[in-house]
Chains A and B, each alone.
Chain A
Amino acid sequence: MATSGTPPPAEPGLALAELDDAALVAQTQAGKVEAFAELMKRHDRKILRLARHITGNEEDAEDVLQESFLNAFSHIGKFAGNSKFYTWLVRITVNQALMKLRKRKSDKQVSLDEPVAGDNEDLVREIAVWDETPERTYSQEEMRRILDEAIESLEPIYRTVFVLRDVEELSTEETAQTLEISIPAVKSRLLRARLQLRERLTQYFRRGKGDDAFAYL
């Protein structure tokens, strides 16, 4: 992963795969397109997942992936290295994905405006302990499907914040900057997103499905 500040000069003869992001960015800026291809290969899985989580649609996500990389390539000369390359790429991807989401005219549900504030207590309905190791109950593929479906069931306003904070692990400040919303808005949306996901996942991961929810008492 790249570090902020001036990138160190790449050692001659070092394979691209052995260079860190900052060195690859420097090489791309110097005209070596293969260095950018290495950056794409290094980050494409996470960027595709991010695009999928925001758009909620595989086809749109693939478009966003391509548009984001090409956009980053076009503007790489302006990338000053004040943040990590990956964080910069995430910002580009979020913007592309949100544009895609807004353009989807047929989807009348898409709104990134502030929702009517509800009571967080309303979001806590299921009180049931989980299995210690739900990943042993489900295959990796099943787990991925369950987690993806749970995210996609959230409104875009909540899932974008959750994905940036808890999947991409951006800070609260970075998330606020990327989405152009206030820090209190990030915090309140994140709480609602986490509680809603917890609620949905409890259906799958509760200890001994079918038992009394209070059986542990």
Chain B
Amino acid sequence: MLTCKDFLGWLNDYLDETADEEVKAQVKEHITNCVNCWVVYDTTKKTLQVYKGMEPKEVPDALRAKLLEALAKKCGKAVS
């Protein structure tokens, strides 16, 4: 039977699906019986989901133009 401290130690592997079957079963059993750890698991999982789902901001045109200019300077010719 896992303790809450053991659960935290396995949380990454469980979330990343790299835990072996035995550990997976033990973590699953623990979060089924311990509401606080289930909340920690669920909200950490959602933390990863919101970051993975966030598209990066557009790069401003002026910055893109500056990058092309720097590349042109580097190679000594205009870049379209």
Known A167-B51, A197-B47; contact A127-B57, beta-carbon cutoff 8 A: no
* Inter-chain contact A134/B36, CB cutoff 8 Å: no
Known A48-B59, A49-B56, A194-B48; contact A70-B74, beta-carbon cutoff 8 A: yes
Residues from chain A with a CB closer than 8 A to the CB of B80 are 34, 37
1/0 per residue, CB under 8 A from B, across A87-98: the answer is 000000000000
Residues from chain A with a CB closer than 8 A to the CB of B68 are 37, 40
Distance in angstroms between the alpha carbons of A134 and B46 in the assembled complex? 10
Residues from chain A with a CB closer than 8 A to the CB of B40 are 124, 127, 195, 198
In the assembled complex, A85 has its CB within 8 A of some CB on chain B:
no
Residues from chain B with a CB closer than 8 A to the CB of A65 are 59, 63, 67
* Inter-chain contact B70/A191, CB cutoff 8 Å: no
* Inter-chain contact B56/A33, CB cutoff 8 Å: no
Distance in angstroms between the alpha carbons of A167 and B49 in the assembled complex? 10
* Inter-chain contact A166/B8, CB cutoff 8 Å: no
Q: How many residues of A contact B (CB 8 A)?
A: 44
Distance in angstroms between the alpha carbons of A62 and B59 in the assembled complex? 10
* Inter-chain contact A36/B71, CB cutoff 8 Å: yes
Q: Of residues 188 to 217 in A, which have CB atoms within 8 Å of B's CB atoms? A: 190-191, 194-195, 197-198, 201-202, 205, 217
Residues from chain A with a CB closer than 8 A to the CB of B11 are 191, 194
In the assembled complex, A106 has its CB within 8 A of some CB on chain B:
no
Known A33-B75, A69-B67, A191-B12; contact A201-B57, beta-carbon cutoff 8 A: no
* Inter-chain contact B79/A33, CB cutoff 8 Å: yes
Distance in angstroms between the alpha carbons of A167 and B50 in the assembled complex? 10
Residues from chain A with a CB closer than 8 A to the CB of B8 are 120-121, 124, 191, 195
In the assembled complex, A112 has its CB within 8 A of some CB on chain B:
no
In the assembled complex, B25 has its CB within 8 A of some CB on chain A:
no
In the assembled complex, B4 has its CB within 8 A of some CB on chain A:
yes
* Inter-chain contact B67/A198, CB cutoff 8 Å: no
Q: How near does chain A come to B41, taking the closest CB pair, in angstroms?
A: 10
Q: Of residues 35 to 79 in B, which have CB atoms within 8 Å of A's CB atoms? A: 35-36, 39-40, 42-44, 46-48, 50-54, 56-59, 63-64, 66-68, 70-72, 74-75, 77, 79
Q: A37-B68, A198-B40, A201-B43 are in contact. List 12 more A-B contacts (CB 8 A).
A: A33-B71, A34-B79, A37-B71, A45-B59, A69-B70, A70-B71, A120-B5, A128-B39, A134-B46, A144-B57, A167-B51, A167-B52
- Chain B positions near chain A (C-beta within 8 angstroms): 4-5, 8-9, 11-12, 15, 35-36, 39-40, 42-44, 46-48, 50-54, 56-59, 63-64, 66-68, 70-72, 74-75, 77, 79-80
10 closest Cβ pairs, A-B complex: A49-B56, A45-B56, A198-B47, A44-B59, A198-B44, A120-B8, A127-B36, A37-B79, A191-B12, A127-B39
